[in-house]
Amino acid sequence: MHQQDIERIEHIDRWCRELRILYLQNNLIPRIENLGRLKKLEYLNLALNNIEVIENLEGCESLQKLDLTVNFVGLLSSVDSLKHNVHLRELFLVGNPCTEFQGYRQYVVAALPQLKWLDGTEISRSERIGASQGLEQVRRRVREQETAYLRRREEQKEEDARRKKEKKPGCDDINNTDSQDDKENRELQENPRSPERAAQEEEEQEREFWHTPCSFTPESRLEAHRHLEEKKKKANKKETGKKTKTPRTLITADGRVMNVNEPKLAFTLTEDEENNAVVLDLAVYRHMDTSLMDVDVQPTYARVSVKGKIFQVVLPAEVKPDSSTAQRSQTTGHLVLRMPRAGGELAVKKTTPRPQRQSQRCSGSADDQNRKNKLPERLEVDPSKRTSVDIANIVRSSGDGPLETSRTVHPDDLSEGFLDDPEVPPLI
């Protein structure tokens, strides 16, 4: 959690109780708080913050190393609160105002007998014995220096408040309802400036802010941070005010897919006839991380995003997106997409025609001529291979002659009461 512009420690003791190492350096934390429940915490780094007092670490039972480099600890007596951290072995206070006190090291070594290292220097046995001698006199001298430091801190706070009031006059006036930004916008509307003049004035203000001497205090560090934040906001407003680049058209309004190569990569698009697939080989940069690429295969096109730039190509045949695969070459870094064709797309294999006989050639030529003339084809059926009943030949003559068209009825074959009416036509 370092370099996150954190201004307060909160929620960690409730949500992350199993922490062993916690990095909070280079933030804007003014107090050590909400860490008492971290029983397993072994290393705490709070360097480059705005801490002025060492406190609220008694509950960190397993704490072995504490780094408070370049803070604003001026109350050297606050190190006495670390006596309860019996496992503490290393302490860093380099860059704090208390390190300039006379008798600083002797006081810390005597106050924390469990320490093995202070500011990166090992504490010897002879040094520990010497620190315990004359300790009361060192403590009295340290209290005097702390009192003088606290007095200077009050003066610094008053000076900072006065400087802010001079910089923004009337900001504390209750009747003044306009903010500073509104005033600046109104002044620009009344007296418009050229872009060159505005840039020059902004540069002068920037130079004046950074070259004006001031004390190194938590307030000045926080003011510098606020100034940088304001500068970033103005830069973002200028960028958003500019015309945004028109996005490239990937698919037209009528549904036509476009070929796009924004990353300007070499590629090959081939058809694998043996496996009935379409293969795309994209020459992606060899050392580029695969997480910076995104592949999207559709039935008619393939799209690859390379570091936010779009590569899109229309496929020569319809493919199966669900069965497609994407692989990265470990030697060249190329991205290979293998896309099987859809079920209706079959590869055409070339075959060698067989030699035909003369009779077949003649019949074939006749059939071709009939197709060209769009004449109906006639099928020839061999009567000897018929499997259905031939109704026309049910009744045959006694000989091998043609079919009988009529039959003479014998009187004995007639039933009783039959009347032969000549006007009734024959049944056959």
How does strand 277-282 pair with strand 335-340? antiparallel
- Taking only the tens place, the pLDDT of each residue in 136-145 is 888 999 999 9
Q: What is the pLDDT of residue 353?
A: 53
Residue 426 has pLDDT above 80, yes or no: no
CA distance 23 to 14: 17
CATH value at residue 328: 2.60.40.790
Which pLDDT band, with edges at 50, 70 and 90, does 281 fall under?
A: very high
The tokens describing 109, both together, are 């070594």
Residue 322 placed within a domain:
yes
Mean pLDDT of 89-93: 95
From 148, 163, 185, give the residue that closes a domain: 148
Residue 182 placed within a domain:
no
- Taking only the tens place, the pLDDT of each residue in 218-239 is 888 888 888 788 888 877 776 6
Which pLDDT band, with edges at 50, 70 and 90, does 359 fall under?
A: very low
> Is 404 in contact with 395 (CB distance < 8 Å)?
yes
Instruction: Express as a percent the part of the chain with pLDDT over 90.
Output: 32
Residue 173 placed within a domain:
no
Residue 419 placed within a domain:
no
Q: Tokens 């006989």 appear where?
A: 357
Residue 417 placed within a domain:
no
Q: What is the pLDDT of residue 86?
A: 93
From 115, 131, 148, give the residue that closes a domain: 148
Which pLDDT band, with edges at 50, 70 and 90, does 357 fall under?
A: low
Do 138 and 18 belong together in one domain?
yes
Do 144 and 17 belong together in one domain?
yes
Residue 105 has pLDDT above 50, yes or no: yes
Query: Looking at the DSSP assignment, which residues form a beta bridge with residue 302?
Result: 297, 313
Which pLDDT band, with edges at 50, 70 and 90, does 412 fall under?
A: low
- Taking only the tens place, the pLDDT of each residue in 23-70 is 999 998 999 998 988 999 999 999 999 999 999 999 999 999 999 999
CATH value at residue 71: 3.80.10.10
Cα Rg, the chain, nearest whole Å: 49
The tokens describing 160, both together, are 């900072």
Q: How many domains does the chain have?
A: 2
pTM above 0.85, yes or no: no
The parent domain of residue 76 ranges over 12-148
Residue 29 placed within a domain:
yes
From 304, 325, 340, give the residue that closes a domain: 340
Residue 378 placed within a domain:
no
